[in-house]
Amino acid sequence: MKNIQLDYTYILDFVKEKDILKMQSKVSEVHKVIEDRTGIGNDFLGWLDLPSRVTMSEMDKINKVADEIRKNSDILVVIGIGGSYLGAKSVIDALSHSFHNNLLHKTPQIYFAGQNMSAKYYEDLKEVLMNKRVSVNVISKSGTTTEPALGLRYLRDLMSQNISKEQVRQRIIATTDKAKGSLKTMADKEGYTQFVIPDDIGGRYSVLTPVGLLPIATAGIHIGELLQGARDMEKLLKNPDLKSNPAYMYATIRNLMYANGKAIEILTNFDPSLHYISEWWKQLYGESEGKENKSIYPASVDYSTDLHSMGQWVQQGTRNIYETFLWVEKSRGNALVPSLEEDMDGFNFLAGKSFDYVNRKAYEGVTLAHHDGNVPNMTVTLPELNAYYLGQLIYFFEKACAMSGYLLRVNPFDQPGVEAYKTNMFALLGKKGYEEKSRELNAILAKTERKVV
Ligand code: PA5
């Protein structure tokens, strides 16, 4: 069985291999800190051996509930934000039909809510749900987050207008903390089916817990294969040797890139179905490392689409970037370029070739062009886009993130910065307990002289 691989050939004109390998002792030291769980944030390392810890009975429970949802629902609405939705959304998008929600399938359509507070979004969603059999999976580790709480209120209210209280109860599944939070209180009181998010796994590392696994299984994706991929990667990455550990090699290169003034990493893909993998990755690295006024800014683009927009910037803009390509080796589609009788557009030289063949040449061409444009780049190659290799990829990025965060000397498992907006929002909304902050902010707003043109 092949594994995902990291190709760093086009990095080596910018950082010397010997300088990468000089990092080995530091990497081995951090590896020990991770494995022995002695570093900062070590109470959030539950994801480390999660793939090999998940039991058959946990999987059975998830698959059983997913089967029930599939049988009795036209639509599953997944309510959650940040780590409580990005993992599921990324895996489902990567492995489902590109137009899944527009087609009649054996699996329900899947929509997301609780990840924004747009009135239009909710009104539009209401229209989509009209006269449909709807189930809801509400996911919140803290059980107190505003966006999913409001999303659940809206969905409950909507469902109550069409079905009985008992039916609403049966159609809501809560994934939350085992003991605390208002979602837990509500789930207990209402008698919702429940799944527990382990205490020692933070949101952005939680895709392989019921947070991700229930929606993913409902979409008809084999969660056993996803976990098997993660499990095999877990084993492979136990060896700290940079020459055989692609996650540590990736983390080390990030560290050296940053030290060389490359403050932005751009993750790119060549398949629209991978767009949300980048969103998940951005959260993982952005929230794990972006603190203490340092760290790489994780950005993403979708190629070849964005080669016609941001491609210009990447080729010739400020040289403070490096790129990581996500490339899938095996083609998933058979669409071929047709021949045209008079070759009016001049593309007959591609007739009979698959779109993926052309895409591959775009990928090869862009790695060379960007390297020539002084953009160091590396490629993470997936042999195939399936549940098994996505499981490998998820674990690869998680382990690399822990290494990368520790090399940067930050706690990769907390997110103190996300509280600032919440405090201000609650104060401005007039939430109880925020009276003093409310007065302070309203006074600032009242006396701020706006400069507007
Ligand atoms: O990674 C994280 O911890 C965050 O992105 C959370 O997942 C996000 O804020 C949602 O939190 P909760 O699941 O508590 O509603």
pLDDT tens, position by position, 401-449: 999 999 999 999 999 998 889 899 999 999 999 999 999 999 999 999 9
- Per-residue pLDDT, 91: 98
pLDDT tens digit sequence for 258-307: 999 999 999 999 999 999 999 999 999 999 999 999 999 999 999 999 99
Selected catalytic residue, list 120, 308, 447, 451: 308
- Per-residue pLDDT, 419: 85
Of 81, 196, 206, 279, best ligand 1 pocket probe by most atoms within 8 Å of the beta carbon: 81
Mean pLDDT of 222-250: 98
148 C-beta closer than 6 A to ligand 1: yes
Distance CA 336, CA 99 (A): 19
- Confidence band (pLDDT; 50, 70, 90) for 138? very high
Burial category of 60 from C-beta neighbours within 10 Å (exposed 0-12, middle 13-18, buried 19 and up): exposed
Contacts of 443 (CB under 8 A, 6+ apart): none
Question: Which atom of ligand 1 is nearest to 287's Cα?
Answer: 1
Of 43, 84, 281, best ligand 1 pocket probe by most atoms within 8 Å of the beta carbon: 84
Question: Which atom of ligand 1 is nearest to 176's Cα?
Answer: 13
- Per-residue pLDDT, 103: 86
Nearest to 77 by CA among 111, 125, 118: 111
84 C-beta closer than 6 A to ligand 1: yes
Mean pLDDT of 12-31: 97
- Per-residue pLDDT, 13: 96
176 Cα–ligand 1 center, Å: 11
Mean pLDDT of 37-63: 97
Question: Which atom of ligand 1 is nearest to 211's Cα?
Answer: 13
Mean pLDDT of the chain: 96
Mean pLDDT of 202-209: 97
Contacts of 277 (CB under 8 A, 6+ apart): 90, 93, 94, 269, 326, 390, 393
145 Cα–ligand 1 center, Å: 8
83 C-beta closer than 6 A to ligand 1: yes
91 C-beta closer than 6 A to ligand 1: no
- Per-residue pLDDT, 418: 87
pLDDT tens digit sequence for 206-222: 999 999 999 999 999 99
Nearest CA to ligand 1 atom 12: 140
The neighbouring-strand residues paired with 264 are 297, 321
Domain 48-225 -> CATH class: alpha beta
140 C-beta closer than 6 A to ligand 1: yes
82 C-beta closer than 6 A to ligand 1: yes
Residue 104 has pLDDT above 90, yes or no: no
83 Cα–ligand 1 center, Å: 5
212 C-beta closer than 6 A to ligand 1: no
Share of the chain above pLDDT 90, in %: 96
pTM to 2 decimal places: 0.97
Mean pLDDT of 218-232: 98
pLDDT tens digit sequence for 74-88: 999 999 999 999 999
Residue 234 has pLDDT above 90, yes or no: yes
- Per-residue pLDDT, 19: 97
- Per-residue pLDDT, 106: 78
- Per-residue pLDDT, 313: 97
Question: Which atom of ligand 1 is nearest to 80's Cα?
Answer: 15
175 C-beta closer than 6 A to ligand 1: no
Is-contact 260 12, C-beta < 8 A? no
Nearest to 249 by CA among 6, 3, 1: 6
Residue 52 has pLDDT above 90, yes or no: yes
Residue 198 has pLDDT above 80, yes or no: yes
Share of the chain above pLDDT 70, in %: 100
Is-contact 296 263, C-beta < 8 A? yes
215 C-beta closer than 6 A to ligand 1: no
Active site residue 398: no
Is-contact 306 433, C-beta < 8 A? no
Task: For the chain, give every domain's residue range.
Answer: 5-41+227-408, 48-225
Sign of the C-alpha dihedral, residues 80, 86, 89, 92? Answer: negative
Distance CA 293, CA 214 (A): 36
Taking domain 5-41+227-408, whether its CATH number is 3.20.20.140 is answered by no
Active site residue 422: yes
Selected catalytic residue, list 371, 422, 431, 437: 422
- Per-residue pLDDT, 411: 97
Selected catalytic residue, list 147, 234, 279, 287: 287
Distance CA 95, CA 226 (A): 11
Active site residue 308: yes
Same fold, 5-41+227-408 and 48-225: yes
- Confidence band (pLDDT; 50, 70, 90) for 1? confident
Nearest CA to ligand 1 atom 8: 82
Of 112, 142, 211, best ligand 1 pocket probe by most atoms within 8 Å of the beta carbon: 142
